[in-house]
Amino acid sequence: MATKHFGHIDGVPVGAAFPNRTELRASRVHPPLQSGIHGTRADGADSIVASGGYPDDEDHGDVIIYTGAGGNDPQTKRQTEDQTVDQTNNAGLITSMLNGHPVRVTRGAGADSDWAPASGFRYDGLYAVTQYETPQGVDGFRVLLFRLDKLDDDAPGAGPAARADLPMYAMTTVSRRVRDSAQARRVKAWHKNACQVCGVALQIDGDRLYSEGAHIRPLGRPDEGPDVTSNILCLCPNHHAQLDYGGLLIRSDFVVVNRTTGAIIGTLRTDHRHIIDSTHLDHRRNGLAP
């Protein structure tokens, strides 16, 4: 399987059209000639093709409900057996969701969607995998349904206006900085996904553990924090939220304090490979009122 490349392909603009899968593959937008997902559990998934291959697919423009791989009769396009989270492409999309990888989305003609091109294939930009469910599909078999939300880019308008009345999958405005998450993955690997505040490593699916890469000095304006390991902590979702919203402070001696009560929560767990820049801790504390 081809090496994964997360993000746009140089020289291929959003909206680029391809007459067939061979030329789509040659562009490197979506390497497989047949599979709709290019992914592995270890690396993640970097691209999909949405062409209406499964009856549970839904395309709402800025939100795509995308059926995972497996259990499908290619002739009838009907589900004949359950899908699993261990199937390599499904596992790849889950890895991309956990690691924050952007996914290239290409739409193909023939899908039951107002957003599909009239012919061939069209590259429609980057999406984020934001959640997945494992319901019983319309054919009576278990399927994986992935929600993908459009990320900001300079994509030209195509298709009708995105719907805002989806009862099950509420539309949201997605505005996020697509970043190279290799640094966060490195920090999480050093700590084996254990939160540096509480030591918890969340088990979410078999042997999969979940943690979040939390930037001490926030990225983007006005803080302009760097995306480097010395500015990243491995945290559980609870302590990540508390850090972001000012619920806890981390002193330069790595003592973690409850900002509201002043009580000491503990000492930040460290690893000899993970050097934390205390100037970022100072910046975070100085940005909060005592």
Instruction: For residue range 20-48, list pLDDT tens digits in order.
Output: 999 999 999 999 999 999 999 999 999 99
Instruction: For residue range 113-151, list pLDDT tens digits in order.
Output: 889 999 999 999 999 998 888 888 888 888 999 999 999
How confident is the model at residue 1, as a pLDDT?
55
- Which residues make beta-bridge pairs with 163? none
- Which residues make beta-bridge pairs with 45? 39
Q: Whole-model pTM?
A: 0.65
How confident is the model at residue 288, as a pLDDT?
55
- Whole-angstrom distance, CA of residue 246 vs CA of residue 258: 9
Instruction: For residue range 198-253, list pLDDT tens digits in order.
Output: 999 998 877 888 999 999 998 776 778 898 999 999 999 999 988 887 789 899 99
Give the CATH number of domain 17-150; options: 1.10.3720.10, 2.30.280.10, 1.10.1040.10, 2.60.120.260: 2.30.280.10
In this prediction, residues 175-191 reach a mean pLDDT of 73
Q: What's the residue count for the chain?
A: 290
Q: Which of the pair, 89 or 221, is modelled with greater confidence?
A: 89
Read off the amino acid at residue 24: L
How confident is the model at residue 169, as a pLDDT?
42
Nearest to 123 by CA among 3, 2, 272, 7: 7
Binning pLDDT at 50, 70 and 90, where does residue 67 land? Answer: very high
**Domain spans of the chain, in order of start:** 17-150, 182-286
Please give the mean pLDDT across all residues of the chain. Answer: 85
How confident is the model at residue 290, as a pLDDT?
40
